[in-house]
Structure formats: C-alpha cells, structure tokens
Structure 1
Amino acid sequence: MYFKIALSNVKKSFKDYTIYFLTLTLSVCIFYSFNSIESQKAIIEIGKSDLELMDSVIKVIGLISLFVSFIQGSLILYANNFLIKKRKKEFGIYMSLGMGTKKISKILVLEAFFVGLLSLLSGLILGIIFSQGLSLLTSQLFDIPMNEYIFIISYSAILKTALYFSIIFILVIIFNTLIISRYKIIDMLNASRKNEAMKLKKPIIYIVTFIISIILIIIAYIYVIESGLDASNKLFIKSIILGIFGTFLLFFGLAGFALNLIKRNKNIYFKSLNMFILNQISNKVKTNFISMSVICLMLFLTIGMLSTGISFKNALEKDLKNNTPFDASARMNISEDDEIKSISESIHKLGYDFDNNEKYVEYTVYGSKSDIKKLFKDKIKEEDYKRLNKIETYGSSIITISDYNKIRNLDGKNKINLKKNEVLLISNSSKIVNIINDILKYNRELTINDINCTVKNSKIITDALYTSAMDINMFTLIINDSLLKSIELKDYTFSSIDINYSDESRKRSEEKYSKLFKSFLEGKGNSKYGFILGTTKDQAYLENKGMTTTILFVGIYLGIVFLISSMAVLSLQQLSEASDNIERYKSLKRIGATDSMINKTIFVQTMIHFTLPLGLAFVHSTVAIYVITEFIKMFGRPNIGVSSIATALIFLVIYLGYFYATYAGYKNMVKNSN
C-alpha cells in the first residue's frame, strides 16, 4: 500500500519535483564525469610516463569531490526541505485520517528512493556522455592524439557516485523523519495560511546602505585594478574584503532603495500589477539578501574561472617555452669547505657520466649583497622605487660574461662583448621585467659597491639561463670577469650546468637525468658529493601541464557545481514564495486580475529574482576578467573568446533550464490553487 501511495505521489507531484529532479540529475552527471578522470585515455597515457603525476591529479579531484559532495548534500537537503514545507497540508490530512508519523516517514522514504534512483540513473547516463567530451578536452590539454578513441565507462566512478549519493539520501531520510516527528496536525493543516513575518526598517536605512555599498564596490574595483593579480599586495586583499562586504550591503539596501525610487513615479508604480510585483520582489530580497549575496559571489567565481581558465593555462605554458631553453639543467650549492666544487665532477662521482652525444656547459652563479633597490638607489624616480619596494626582490645573482657567452653558445646565440664597467640585466620574472624596463627608459646607470656601471641593454633580457618549470631568475647581473673581485658577494655560490641532448641519445639521456634528479627530490640521492637540484625539459612540461590542468579541472568542476547550486537555490526560493503567497494570488483573482496578468507578474518576478545576483556577478566578473587579462598579457596576447563563448553557452543552458522550470512550477502552483 505504501509503495503504491509513494509511487502515486511522485507521479502526481512530478511538476513539483522538477527542480529537485533536475538538480539531482545534473549533480550526479558532474560528479561522475570528474571522478571518471582516471579512466580517460589521456590520463592513462600520462600515467604510462609519470604515475605520480596521474595519482596527484586524481587525488586532488578526489579531495575536491568531498567538498562538492558537501555542497550537493546541503543543496539536496535544502530542496527537500522545500518539498516537505510545501506538503505540510497533505501530511496533516494523512495524520487526521489516523496515519502516524512513522507511516508518513515510510512513504517519504519510498518517494526519496524513487526520485533518487531515477535521478541517479539519468545522471549517470548523462555523465557517461559528458565524460567523453571531458576526455577529448583532457587529451587536447595534454597534447595527446585521439586517433584510437575508445568509449570508456568508469565503473569505479559509478560505484563512488552511487555511494556518495546513497549517503546523501540516507541523510535526507533521517532529516525527513525528524522534521515530520516535530510537526503538529494543526500546524500542518494551517501551513498555507502562515506567511513569513517581515520586519520593515525605515526607508532611509536602505537608501544610505545602498549608496555606501556602491561606494565600497567602486573602491574595491579601483584597488584590484591598481594591484593587479598580486595576492601579496595589501590592496588586493582589501579589494576582496570590500567587494564581499559591498555585495552584501548592496542586496540589503537594494530592495528598499529601488522600491522608494519607483514609488516616486506614480505612472509606473500604479500601472497594472506593478505595485504587487515590486512589493513581492522587495520583500523577497529583504528576506533573502544573505543567500542572494552568496549566490552572486558564487556566480562571479564561476564566470571568472570558466572564462579565463584555459587562457590562463595557455599563457603559463607559453611562458614555460621561454623557461626551458635546454634539455636539462641542474645546480649545486657549494662553499669553501666542500671537497667537490664542481657539479660536473659530482655527477661523474655519482656514476652518471656524460655521453658523447650530449653537449653541456658548466658555469658559476654568485650571490650579490646588492639587491635591485641598492643598485639603482638615488638614480631612479620615486614612483619606480615605490614599485620596487612592493616586491620581495631579495638579492641579485651575478654571472661573468665569459660564463654567459658559454650559455648563449649552447643555446645557439651570438657572443656578447662587455667593456670593463658595462653590465647586462637579465630576468624572466614578470614582476620585475616591466619595472626595470620603465627605469631603463630614462636611466642606464647603476652602482655596484661604489663602482659606477652602465647598463648595455636598453631593455631587460628575458632569456632563461636555466631550464625550470617556474621563473626562478628574479634578477641577474652579467658583468665583466675583471669586475668580479671588486664586488662584495654572499657566502654561497651555485655550480650550475645546462645540457642538450642529440636526437640519437634523447631517450637514453632523458631517462638518465630524470632518474638522477628524482633521486635527490625523493631523498634517495647520495649527498656525499653534494645535493643536486635539477630538472629536464620533459619533467618541467609534465609538471606544468599536471599543475595547470589540475587547476583548470578544479575550476571547471567547482564552477559548474556553483552554477547548478546557485540556480537551484534561486528556483527553490521562488517556488517557496509561490507556496507562501497562494492566498495573495487568490485575492488578485477576486479583484479581477486575469490569468494572463497573473502569469505576467510570475514571469517578471522570476526574471528579476534570477537576474539580480547574475547581473551584479557579471559586473564583478567584467572587472576581474580585465585584471586577469592584463596579467596574462605579460606572457602573451590572451584569447578568451572561445572560453567566454563556452561559458556563455553553459550559463545559457543551465540558466534557461532552471528559469523555465521555476516559471512553469510557479505558474502551475498558482493555477492549481484556484
């Protein structure tokens, strides 16, 4: 009997379950897709070459999935609470007919089982399809050909998805049982007549709050544009705090401000059912300003992550090309007490002799006690000095011109000659390059230990001296060999080496040096002959691709989850309002409002409710995208066109899906109440 009642309820209330079912299906789809990543062909191919990288990508996705399951669990409980609230009267009738709370709970358990099973199956089917597209994206990101494409289903991801969502539904069942046990028959039967009490404040409070919020948001925009994408900059931190605080204040003050503003225009306020619409929206925003602010910030993060993620990854990979001029590079810290003072000797002692098909140069990098600010002191403008003060420049490195020319020769570049007091400036750090280039436009003089020198290059040289996955050359001075004895150095130096392989020995050499460098990173290297820190070009690329792609996947994963969660909460809030305000719509009918007029008010309310947080999120993200784009320009000309179009399409599909489902559900609830 309970089975038939539960099944009948699900069929009868399918329209009410639309948002619930849609949210569950999309949540399962996204959860499965990203947890099936280990079965995707591209990741398998990576695993063949670097098992650790694949494991780290899968572990990060697994950890993020725990966070995502918490979000989705909270969302499902929120949606379930709405359904329970809406059906209070129905449960009250059951209880008045003699059905106990345990029997009602049993019906709810069966209903949750039917909806959950249907959502799980449909979500997994969509997820399997979506994961194939994700597999193609993964292959493209890792430059892996898909000539032998295979349709893959991840059974481990299916089990994990089923397990996570089973746990969520067990919590839903417990939640439903607790809620039903607390309700009294009188409360259930009169639920439709109870509306949420709304305490209205004086209009001036909302107006002042709204104006303050606009000022705070504008200041936040100014700060973030000035600081750029620099998390260490205090202005950047301030911009985030002011932006969040301003967003909350804006939604708090918006309803009262807009209502009082429109009230002054009698032609608009008293036209058709505008007065009813405006008061409904105003009360809703005042009640839910916190949730709308959180939704706005979530949508802002979603737009930012999806729009710029791929461009950001491409920019970092382009920068990597400049950072990896050699097939392998390594360095070893040496001091006066060390028996071995040469990295090539250390490599030889460790049993890794150089092949005849390998070319290498060995050079020394000295540490100078004069950092950039000391070098240019009293010779640059105050504004540029302040810019340097904002950056942790530490010291500067020094390489002699003879060693530098050896590096250039290995890289296939021409020799450079320096006069006695001439220097070259080199850096591949984006923080430093722009500032030094601005300084060199009006000043080419610097002082090293009271020795006046002239900078030979009109622009800082951005060539990398060393293969690395990151920008490790903050600032290096290339000086004449004869000048070295006159400079005060730090008590450490690095013996460094750059290596290029021939095509014949590439595979063998790569395996040899990868093994050597990994042994020290894993703490297995023989430190008796010094500690060697190095990387190969292939290792650098693999490390970079693993890191950037993981960040990109996490961004897409969280972005879509945030988008679904935001749309679902907005939908449920609107439907909850419809349930609370049924009597008001009946009153509109009694005073002569037609069905088309009522439907129009529902459409306008739904549209405004969905558009408010999305509109502000769009404004926030416009500024954020500008800042991110300016940052990416340091690595090359960014192209966010494709990712922006893709983001717009994802937004459009999910937004319109939830919007239509909400509008149809709202309209259906009002229609069936008459």
Structure 2
Amino acid sequence: MTLFSLARKNIARNLSQYFLYIASMVFSIIIYFTFVTLKYSDAVAEQTASSQKLGSLMSGAAVILIFFVAIFIAYSNSFFMKKRKKEVALYALLGVRNRQIGFMLFFENLLLGLVSLVVGILLGFLCSKGFMTILIYLMGYDVIAPFTFSGSAALNTSIVFLIIFLVTSFQGYRLIYQFKLIDLFHASKKGEAAPKPSMIVAFLGIFLIVIGYWLAMQDLFTSKVWEKIGFLMTALIILTTVIAGTFLLFHSVTGFVLAVIKKNEKWLWKGLHLMTVSQLLYRIRGNARTLTVIAVLSATTVTAGGAVYGLYYNANDQVMTVDPNTFMYQQTDVKSDHQVTAILPDTKYDENVEALSITFNTKELSEESAFDNSDKRIYTVIDERTYNKLADVQGKEALHVNHGKAVILDIGYDKRFSPEYKDKTIRTENNTAITFQSFKTQTVLNAKTAGIAVVVSNDQFKSLQKEGEALHYRAIGVDQASVDLSEKISKQIPEEALFSSAPQDFQASIESVGSLLFIGSFLGLVFLAATGSIIYFKVLTEAEEDKSQYNMLHKMGVNAKEMRKSIASQVFVIFFVPLAVGLLHSAVALKAFSGLLMMNLAKPVLIWMIAYTIIYGLYYILTVASYNRIITQNNKTEG
C-alpha cells in the first residue's frame, strides 16, 4: 500500500470530521473565484459605469480574503493535527519511518486541498451567474448576467490556493519531528492550562474595554484627544485596548461570574449543573485566546457589514434630501424647454421657479464656522410663496417668514462645523440686512443646481430683485423616472443649465455602495463560516476528550436527556458569550460611525445583526448535534 493510497483511505474514513473543514475551504474558494471572475468579467464592465473602480475593489477584497483564508486553514489544520497525534504515534511505534509518516500527512492535507480547489472552482463557475446577477442588481441595474468561465480567474485561484495548501501541508509534514513519541500518545489528554482568575486582571480587562469605547465615541473632528494623539495612533490604541481587554475579559472576568454562580448550591446540585459550570470554568478561561479571536472576528464582520448596509439602506433618503425634485435645471432658452416637454412622460408637477443669485457679506457666519472662513457667499434666494408651492407638491410643511427675516435651507448642516444660523445677520453688497429666524436641513431645490437656498418673505424678495441676478429654474416631479430619461433630457439642454437628476444621482450612489455591499456581504459570510468552523473544531476536539466522563455518567445511570442538556448549555456559552461581546463591540463602533456620518443606522444595523446571529446559530445547532452524536456513539460502544 502506497503512502498516497493510505492518505486517501484516511480521508475517506474521517470524512465526517473533515466535512465542515472542507465545506469552509470550498466556500472560501467559491468566493475568491467569484471575485476574480468579476474582476475579469466583460459582462459586468459593459453594464456598470465604474468598472475600473469595481475591478480595484474586487482585487482588494481578494487580497483580504487570501490573508484571512490562509490564517483560517492554518488554524484549522492545527486542530486536526492535534487530533491525529495519537494515530501518528501508533504509526511510529509500528516502525514506520518519520519521513514516511510526514509524507503521508503531507499528501492527506494536499489531497484535501486539491479536492476542495476542484469542487470550489466548479461550484464557483455554476454560481457565477447568480453572483453576477446579485452584484448587478445591488448596483441598480436590471440585467440577468450570462454564464461565464474565466480561464484567468481559474488559474489565479489555483495558484493562490495551491501555495496555501502546500504551506499547510508542510506544517503537517513537520508534526512528526516536533514531538517525542510519548508526547504524541498523551496529546489528547493535554488541554490548555486554565489560568486562575485575578481581581487585578479582571478590572484591567474591563478598564481597557471602557477606554477603547470612550475613545471610539469621541468625535473624530472635534475631540481634543484625537487631535493631540493623531488619527492613526488613536485608531491603533482603540484596537489594542479593545482586543487586549476582550482577552482579559475571557481570561478572568467570566471566571468570576461562573464562580459566583457556583456558590448557589441549591441550583448547583440540580441535574448536571455542577459538571456544566466546572467544565465552563476550565473551557472559557483555558480557551481565552480562541474566544477572543471569535469575538473580534464577529465584531469586525458585523461592523463592516452593518456600516455598508446602513449606507445602502439610506441611499434613497440621502438622494431625496439632495434632489427633492426628480429633475431640475436652469432655464436658458425656450427651445430647450419645448424639447424637454416633448420627451417628458406624465408628471406629478412641473413648476417654473423664479429665484435670485445674490452675493452676501457673511462675516458673522464666518466667525463661527469651522468649515468656511470666506466673508462672501453666493446664495440662491426664493420667496415664501415659491417655497410653499414646492413644499406642497413635495409633501413638506409650509413655511412662514417674517419681513426682514429669512430661513436658510442647508442640507449639509453639521453642528460641529456649521454656524449657528439663528439670529445671525447677512448683508447684501448694498448693505441690506437679512437676519435668519431659523434654518432647515432640507430643501425644495436640487442642491447641485441651486446650491444653498435662502427663503425670504414675498415683499422682501421684490425689494431684493434690484440687488441680484434673476434666475429661472424648472423643477419637475415624475413618478416613474429612469436614468435613460435623465440622459435624454440632459441632451436637450446646455451644460451651463446645471441639470440635476435624482435617478442619475441615485444610480451613482447605489452603484458605488452596492458593490461595497456585495463584497462586504460575501466576505462577511466567509468570516462567519470560518468563525463557526473554528468553534466547531474546538468543541468537537473537547468532545473527544469528554467521552470518558460522559460514559462514566452513563454507567452511573444519568439519562441521555440530562447529558444533552448539559452539552447544549456548555456549547451555548462557548458560542454565544463571544458573539455577545462581538455584537457589543460592533454596536459601539457603529454608533461612532453613525455619529461621524450624521446618519441613523439603527434599523439596518439591527437587521444585519439579526441575520448574522441566525446564521451563527445554525453552527451552534450543528455543533450540539455533532457533540451529542459523539457521546451517544461512545456510550453505545463502551456500554
């Protein structure tokens, strides 16, 4: 029997244990192959206006995926090697040379990798049409992508993953040379040393997390701390303190919590609670490093995905804020207007807007603004009647402006940088004073066409006509508008008309954020699959070690239901404690992110967290079922 055939038989015999490992690798290969295929795809390039930018995004995502998958495969492989140490020792005891054993382990891992690679590329090809269609849909295009097989993508994927598999296979080859024979036999009995909880360490862990949270919640632009330390250094401090604090949290804080629970003797002596708590005390403290990795991975995945989904979710609202009218342009000649009217479908409204372009002295505003220190600004001025007419058709509240007063419509208002408009005065070049009675963060004129608008009373508008340049705008509202219609209209009017289109701006926004959402979602799924797999391997390795304990309980008469309950409780804590910590980290990060963008991300982030938790929960169910199967089969075998 050759070493290669022996390796093949070992894989076939242990296929059930390798299944999730193979599945995770296959999924990673599918996603990588998809990213590279999309990078080379002519179909995507033809449909999207930003194909070059998309290619760069796909390349960047592929690099992140390579780095992560390499770490995941190496980490997973170390679990399997630990499980195989006793088997390796038996080969050595039977006289098989170390070199031959090393080559057998090398061939096993390489064969697993090659099978995963072939299956991953084939499934990637079959799924490519669906993935391309999803990407194109998220980018706002209604097109069905064709089946495409990219030879360049297949070659790229093969080279990258063959290198990864060769490196991890060599890791298996070196196993026999790293340990003495007696160490290999007792490897399964050696667990990670469970450190004793320390009050000082526990407080230090909580303190570090609080410091990280506090820094994250400081405003990036106005915080003195961020200004003094610097952006990169502050970000590094946040990452370091949160990760270190999380490790210490699992190292000692959870130990104290479980120790307190253990003091409740009335509850402790019911069922298998004593055994459950005792094993958790060992498992959580002993596996602090693994649990920290899970928590950080979960936080990273949820934060990145939640942020991108939040931007995608709010894209339409953002465009509607900037472009309250479907189309708007400055009227320059009658001929252009007639040509636009000829191609317009039925409209909700079609209004001619009279406005003034006036240069104001804004010294009072400039003194308070951290954003613009210019003493002269040009505003578009409209009267109260015009505002209310547009507000009515747009579903906004009416406005009343007192004589000599004004309301400024500043959609970019940010209290950190913008001036306090109320009761501040601006003056025309003829020294006509206008005082702001209030401000609004919404407008009735498209910002690209009209800029920042100022609403004055009807009488005030008439008196200002001598001081400003008369402007005539056309504001159009259409129920079923499209980018094609926008392009047709833009061809009918000159460039100086400053044409603005809600469909075009929405398409540009959704195209950019949609591609990020696609990449973030699939990278998140890979991270989630790897995260779930790491816990799965870890827990099932411990299940092998716990077989004798549960068999002893079985012989003592403990029923299967109690054992299943104990197993479910232990695995639940191992799974969901790091998840809860990860979600808390991501909630703080996303709160800071929403404050930075002045955007409400609560609903999309909650949806993203629920989706992540549901998929993560499936791994928990699978792990508990596998753990129970191992214990049940062992009890039947041992009696």
TM-score, reference length from structure 2:
0.73
CA contact (8 A) 1:326 1:498 kept: no
1:424 Cα deviation after fit: 3.7
1:627 Cα deviation after fit: 7.6
Q: Residue type matched to 2:436 in 1?
A: V
Equivalent residue number for residue 467 of structure 1: 448
Equivalent residue number for residue 348 of structure 1: none
In structure 1, distance between residues paired with 2:611 and 2:485: 43
In structure 2, distance between residues paired with 1:395 and 1:403: 23
In structure 2, distance between residues paired with 1:129 and 1:662: 33
Equivalent residue number for residue 13 of structure 2: 12
Query: Residues 553 and 666 (structure 1 numbering): CA distance in 2 closer, same or farther, change over 3 Å?
Result: farther
Match of 2:167 among 163, 168, 171: 171
Equivalent residue number for residue 551 of structure 1: 516
Which has the larger displacement, 290-299 or 8-17?
290-299
In structure 1, distance between residues paired with 2:638 and 2:22: 23
Q: Residue type matched to 2:434 in 1?
A: C
Which has the larger displacement, 570-579 or 584-593?
584-593
CA contact (8 A) 1:305 1:556 kept: no
Match of 1:79 among 63, 76, 80: 76
Query: Residues 417 and 281 (structure 1 numbering): CA distance in 2 closer, same or farther, change over 3 Å?
Result: closer
Which has the larger displacement, 264-273 or 124-133?
124-133
In structure 2, distance between residues paired with 1:662 and 1:551: 38
Q: Residue type matched to 2:424 in 1?
A: L
In structure 2, distance between residues paired with 1:673 and 1:373: 83
In structure 2, distance between residues paired with 1:483 and 1:500: 22
Match of 1:114 among 100, 111, 114: 111
Which digits, 9 at most, give the CA deviation of each residue in 1:84-136, with x for residues without a partner?
A: 11111111121222222221122123212332233334444554555444344
Equivalent residue number for residue 285 of structure 1: 284
Query: Residues 474 and 547 (structure 1 numbering): CA distance in 2 closer, same or farther, change over 3 Å?
Result: farther
In structure 2, distance between residues paired with 1:396 and 1:481: 25
| 3-state secondary structure, aligned to 2:115 | helix
In structure 2, distance between residues paired with 1:221 and 1:93: 55
List aligned pairs for 1:243-392, cutoff 5 A: 247-306=246-305, 309-324=308-323, 357=339, 370=363, 372=365, 374=367, 392=371
Which has the larger displacement, 1-10 or 19-28?
19-28
Equivalent residue number for residue 88 of structure 1: 85
Match of 1:608 among 573, 577, 591: 573
Which digits, 9 at most, give the CA deviation of each residue in 1:469-488, with x for residues without a partner?
A: xxx9689798979889999x
Query: Residues 623 and 191 (structure 1 numbering): CA distance in 2 closer, same or farther, change over 3 Å?
Result: closer
In structure 2, distance between residues paired with 1:617 and 1:670: 36
Match of 2:141 among 141, 144, 147: 144
Two-structure CA RMSD over aligned residues (Å):
5.4
Which digits, 9 at most, give the CA deviation of each residue in 1:293-320, with x for residues without a partner?
A: 3322322343455556445313123322
Query: Residues 505 and 563 (structure 1 numbering): CA distance in 2 closer, same or farther, change over 3 Å?
Result: closer
In structure 1, distance between residues paired with 2:183 and 2:472: 80
| 3-state secondary structure, aligned to 1:252 | helix
Which digits, 9 at most, give the CA deviation of each residue in 1:365-392, with x for residues without a partner?
A: 85856364747xxxxxxxxxxxx8xx64
Query: Residues 79 and 498 (structure 1 numbering): CA distance in 2 closer, same or farther, change over 3 Å?
Result: farther
Which digits, 9 at most, give the CA deviation of each residue in 1:600-622, with x for residues without a partner?
A: 54333222211211233345556
1:74 Cα deviation after fit: 0.7
Aligned pairs, number: 600
Query: Residues 220 and 145 (structure 1 numbering): CA distance in 2 closer, same or farther, change over 3 Å?
Result: same
1:7 Cα deviation after fit: 1.5
| 3-state secondary structure, aligned to 2:15 | coil
Which has the larger displacement, 395-404 or 127-136?
395-404
In structure 2, distance between residues paired with 1:434 and 1:240: 25
In structure 1, distance between residues paired with 2:439 and 2:176: 77
Equivalent residue number for residue 231 of structure 2: none
In structure 2, distance between residues paired with 1:400 and 1:197: 70
Query: Residues 105 and 188 (structure 1 numbering): CA distance in 2 closer, same or farther, change over 3 Å?
Result: same
Give the fraction of aligned pairs with identical amino acids, expressed as a percent. Answer: 21
In structure 1, distance between residues paired with 2:452 and 2:603: 24
| 3-state secondary structure, aligned to 2:314 | helix
List aligned pairs for 1:394-543, cutoff 5 A: 394-395=373-374, 398-399=377-378, 421-429=404-412, 431-432=414-415, 444-448=422-426, 453-455=434-436, 459=440, 461-464=442-445, 466-467=447-448, 507=487, 510=490, 540-543=505-508
CA contact (8 A) 1:445 1:453 kept: no
Q: Residue type matched to 1:614 in 2?
A: L
1:54 Cα deviation after fit: 1.3
Query: Residues 426 and 14 (structure 1 numbering): CA distance in 2 closer, same or farther, change over 3 Å?
Result: same
In structure 2, distance between residues paired with 1:39 and 1:187: 50
1:198 Cα deviation after fit: 3.2
2:190 paired with 1:194: yes
Equivalent residue number for residue 346 of structure 2: none
In structure 2, distance between residues paired with 1:60 and 1:365: 43
Equivalent residue number for residue 105 of structure 1: 102
Match of 1:68 among 56, 65, 74: 65
Query: Residues 664 and 299 (structure 1 numbering): CA distance in 2 closer, same or farther, change over 3 Å?
Result: farther
2:535 paired with 1:570: yes
1:282 Cα deviation after fit: 1.4
Q: Residue type matched to 2:163 in 1?
A: I
Q: List gaps (5 residues or longer) in structure 1.
A: 331-343, 345-352, 376-387, 488-493, 518-531
Query: Residues 434 and 580 (structure 1 numbering): CA distance in 2 closer, same or farther, change over 3 Å?
Result: same
Q: Residue type matched to 2:51 in 1?
A: M
| 3-state secondary structure, aligned to 1:425 | strand
Which has the larger displacement, 58-67 or 581-590?
581-590
TM-score, reference length from structure 1:
0.70
CA contact (8 A) 2:205 2:247 kept: no
In structure 2, distance between residues paired with 1:371 and 1:551: 41
In structure 2, distance between residues paired with 1:615 and 1:111: 37
Q: Residue type matched to 1:17 in 2?
A: Y
| 3-state secondary structure, aligned to 1:455 | strand
List aligned pairs for 1:150-161, cutoff 5 A: 150-161=146-157
Query: Residues 466 and 618 (structure 1 numbering): CA distance in 2 closer, same or farther, change over 3 Å?
Result: closer
Which has the larger displacement, 417-426 or 64-73?
417-426
CA contact (8 A) 1:304 1:624 kept: yes
CA contact (8 A) 2:83 2:541 kept: yes
In structure 2, distance between residues paired with 1:368 and 1:295: 57
In structure 2, distance between residues paired with 1:562 and 1:160: 21
Which has the larger displacement, 313-322 or 164-173?
313-322
CA contact (8 A) 1:15 1:665 kept: no
In structure 1, distance between residues paired with 2:321 and 2:503: 14
In structure 2, distance between residues paired with 1:207 and 1:26: 38
Query: Residues 408 and 475 (structure 1 numbering): CA distance in 2 closer, same or farther, change over 3 Å?
Result: closer
Q: Residue type matched to 1:276 in 2?
A: M
Equivalent residue number for residue 385 of structure 1: none
In structure 2, distance between residues paired with 1:145 and 1:486: 49
1:21 Cα deviation after fit: 1.9
Equivalent residue number for residue 380 of structure 1: none
Equivalent residue number for residue 348 of structure 2: none
CA contact (8 A) 1:367 1:397 kept: yes
In structure 1, distance between residues paired with 2:513 and 2:619: 26
Q: Residue type matched to 2:423 in 1?
A: E
Q: Residue type matched to 1:112 in 2?
A: N
In structure 2, distance between residues paired with 1:461 and 1:201: 55
Query: Residues 306 and 500 (structure 1 numbering): CA distance in 2 closer, same or farther, change over 3 Å?
Result: same
